[in-house]
Each structure stands twice: as C-alpha cells, then as structure tokens.
Structure 1
C-alpha cells in the first residue's frame, strides 16, 4: 500500500519525477543505424514484415484520415462514441488515406527511429536465435511501430472530409431519460486515437502524439507491449538468458482489461513472423494477437508498474492513488478478466451442495466452456456434477 500516492499532492510529486525521467530518457535515445549487420538486418526485416500487414496499413490510414472508421472506433473499451457522433457515421476511410499509408510504409528508414541506448546494447549483445535476442527484437519493433504512429499524427494529414476537431472535442449529450443531476459530463481526451490506460500526455516526451503511438500498438499488436523488468534480470545482476514472455495490455472491445502474458506458442509465432525472409512479404501474420481464456497469466493494471514493474517505461502510466486502487479492488470480477471465476463458481456451488443450472450443464457437456475453464477443468468432478438429477 505504501507504493500508492495517498493525496493529490503526493501524485503531483510523482508525476513531476516521471516527467523529468521521460524527457531525460527521450533526449538520451540513439539511432539504431550503428547496429552490426546481422542485428540491423533482423530489425529492418521485422519492421518491414509488420508494415506489410493489412492491420498496420489500416491503422496508419486511420491516423492519416484524421478519424477512425466506426468499426475501429467502437472496437475499444470506453470509446465515448454515441449514436450521431461523427465516428458513428464514418463508415469507411476517406479518399487518399489508404493510398498515403501504402506510400508511407515502404519509405521508412532507420534514421527516423531512436531507441533507449540500453535497449540497443542489449540487442546488439544478444546472439541471434536466443530468447534475449527475440525479446529485445520485439521491444524494438513495438517502439518503432509506436514512433511511426506518433510521427504520422504530428504530420497532421487529416484527409477526412469533415471537421476533425469538432469530432474530437464533441461532448456526449445527456439522454432525455437521465435526470440532469445524475449525468456527469465526460471531457474527451485531446485525440480520438487513444488507449484508455495510456493518456498521460503531460508526461510523454511527444505529448499527445505518444497517446496515438500507444493506440497504434493496441491496434497492430493487440495491446501495448510491456515486459516483466525485474524477471529480465538474473539472480547475479546480469541479464536473464531466458527472459519471461512479453505481456500485452489490451484495450479492444470484449478483450480483458488486464495485462496478459503471451503463451509460448503466441510468442514464437510472433518471432517467426518477424524473422521470416524472402522476396515477398509473409503471406500470413499472427497480428493482432487477441489474448483470450488460454492466456492465464494476468496482472491487474493498477499494480503492474507500482508493485511489479511490469511495463516498458515506468513513466508510461501514472500510479493510481490509494483511493483509486481500493475502488479497483471492488470491481465486479467477470470471467473475461479473471478466467478462473467460472471454475471457482462451480467448485463453490458444489461444496455448498447447490446443483448447477441445466443450461450451464449443457454448455459443460458440449465443451463450449472448455477454453474458459482451461486447466481448471481438471479440478472439477464433471461426471458427478453433470449426472446430478434435478431435485
């Protein structure tokens, strides 16, 4: 509990420190152009492979347009888009947006990018084929994809045939059925391209443009790419030769809000895609990676940085105050965020002698809930539960 700021004044002090750290690290970034040939070629290949995907082209085209399409805009938690909003009526990209994206993506070069010097050193010192090499390659690509999104936002193409500023600053009107005293006005973020958990533009070195960069990561990768920093260090203080799998922090609709670790299969598919070579771009891609019930290793966002240092940069999200943390612990727990909830409910009812509803039994018999139960299915005596007779 001592890690959470207790007052707004405590939070202000922390934010000031994070601002300074973010800007100091930003100034210290270096170009990747001096990487040795094998490492430089691997990075270029991986970025090219990502930029060749339809999800990357579509994501950057949304920024070039100036407004997301309705399909993309609604595919986000807390999207603050309503019937009649400009995005609701934006069915397809405006002319020129996709064309500019297809023109931009092949023209990138290493001099456009800058990275944390330690990240470059760790990648340069890692032997190709090792997990350290793969993990640092993923981090470099995530940062590059983020930076491209921020750059496109700063270029301010706005080919949208309409008033972008009016759409961004629009405030949701109060529905007639809600009394005025019960309606709270929500001030929209400074950009419509945002991840709900990454809005600290007062801290980010590139300001609002970095908000857009995090949104780009969510669209292309399936979440903001973060790492278990303490576990990447070995017991002797040196780099762990077998770092844990990366985590994604998603913001898509009907996807968990929790920071979720990739499975071995998911991470290997990503690395295989990054390292695939050939005269033509890969014909298939694992992107975006939509984490689901099979991804059981999850962390609550409120404690990820503060208590566990699971992040990419410690300044990417402000810590919640102690009151905000306590509120988060009282959130209802659905199986979308906590896959173990269903098995717990079944076990608890079994121990209490309560019979399962017939509809739930039917789903268990059909295997419809196998993914949600995951490894917890082995703990359940399903034969006994499913053969219970109605009372």
Structure 2
C-alpha cells in the first residue's frame, strides 16, 4: 500500500517522539552522519535541517545513506526472508566485493528468487544494493582524504584495456571495431561519485555521463550513427582540461566549466540545456521556472523530458532542477548522486 508522507514538521515530531505509527512507513536520512533510521530509533535526534524523510528503505539507499546500526531498518526484511538475511550478512562481511549472480548461486541461493525478494522489500536487486554500497564507501573514503580508484562501478575501469572492453559492451561492438582515426574519441574520468565516460572531438565535448547510467548505451549508439561509426578510444585535447575542471569542482575550488560543448538535440531541447547552464552553482530551479525562462510557460513536461535527455552531466547541470515542491526528482545518474551534487554545491552558493 502506498503511503503519502505528511510534511517534514510532522515527521520530525514523530521522530523526536519515536512515534510507532510511522515505523516501517517512513524513514529519515541524516545528512550530517550519512545514516538512515526508523522514526522510532533510540539514537540522539539530529537537527531538523539535517533530516530528509523517505517512504522506503530503497529510497534511502538510492539517496546514498547507510543503514543505522542501532535501529537496524533492514532487519524486518531480513527476518522475513532467510535469503535476504544471508546476503545482507555477506554484504557486510565482504566490503568492496564486486558481487555477481554466480556468487549468489555459490551460496546455495537461486538468483531469480533473490532478485524478486530484494525488489519486493527494497525496490532494487541485491546486485544494485551491493553496487550502491561500494559507490558510497568510495565516496566516504575519498571525502576522508583517501584515493579511491576502484570500487566505483560494476564495470570497474582499472586500465585502458579494461575501459575498452567495458565500452565495447556498452556500444555492442567488438573491441577491434573502433576507428583508429576516429573523429570523436572516448575515455573515462574517475570522480568521487563514480567513473564517467567522456566523448570529445578535437575541440568540443559531446558527451559526459556516469558510466552506470541506464540510458548511456542508447546515447552512445545515437552518437555512433551521427558520426558514421568514426568513434575511437583515446584522448582528445578537451579531455585534459575537463579532467582538471572536474577535479577543481569536486575539491571545492571552482564550479566554472570552460570546456566547449556540442549539443545534439532539437532546437527546443538545446534551448532548455542552454537555460540549465545559466543556473549558478548552489542554486536550483523548478521545471516551470525553466519553461518560463525559455518563453514556453506551458511546456513544463517537455522541459522535463529535455532535462532528462541531457547528455553532458555536471557541465549542463540538470541536477539543479527540482520538483515544484522542492523535492528531488528523477536523475539519470541516480537520486543519491543528485543529492550529493546539491550538497557539494552548497559551498558555492
């Protein structure tokens, strides 16, 4: 049964009073600790400004929070299903492990049964949960001053050859099919929020996406057709500058990007992307505000579609667009990344 959450003030009162009526129906993510809890959690109560409320465990995990070790919000599902309990214990014991379905089978569990059970309780598969765990651990380690190269993506680009293989899978091509004299070349850039794939020609950036974005293969195929198959693997001149600008952005030094960008879309879509570029770091807009800015106030849904079709993440900051009520809305890189990006940009306000 779906449950519409009341306002944050009501939920915060429920958290302070440990109201059992909300147990299992609402959860709180605490930005100051990175933990999410039941509203009945006995831990010390956070400040209201550090609280975000969610309707499910899955939403909390996707937003980048880890489960509280005092109120154990994953416990009800674990007690209800032995397979979930066993896999959660294994996930906790094998930090950083790249889980695959054969690992599940070796534990004597049926992968399809496990997939259904995790989707039923958490709205995601066990493999998706394990990936989120690794990504979050990498982000936390990097924020603490450690270098994190691996454990960022399921594909895991540890070398140029590993990237070539992973990119070949995304494109649906054999590794040897890429043009040696490609007009546009692909390479990867590691960031605190996961590896990104960049496609550049000699002067412009054409695509920048998190490598686990579900729409990425379709985007790559469209560019493959647009450039008549002349896509290669390697570096073009704009990539070095892009990498420096991304490092400055994530380290808190600067939020300006000067790499020239090439947009592939209709005139309307391009007008939305140009409007997104004008949103300063540390600020947000609604879809209706963007529609008004481009002179198309009735085209709110079309603006939302154009926002979702953005192919140059971060530089075209579609993550700065929120719902009319200020809530996080869909983001191709994952809602947890959207929240992290907004948190990062508060220092630039």
Determine if the TM-score, normalized by the shorter chain, exceeds 0.5. Answer: no
The answer to which structure has the higher strand fraction is: 2
Please identify the structure whose Cα radius of gyration is greater: 1
> What TM-score do the two structures reach when normalised by structure 2?
0.23
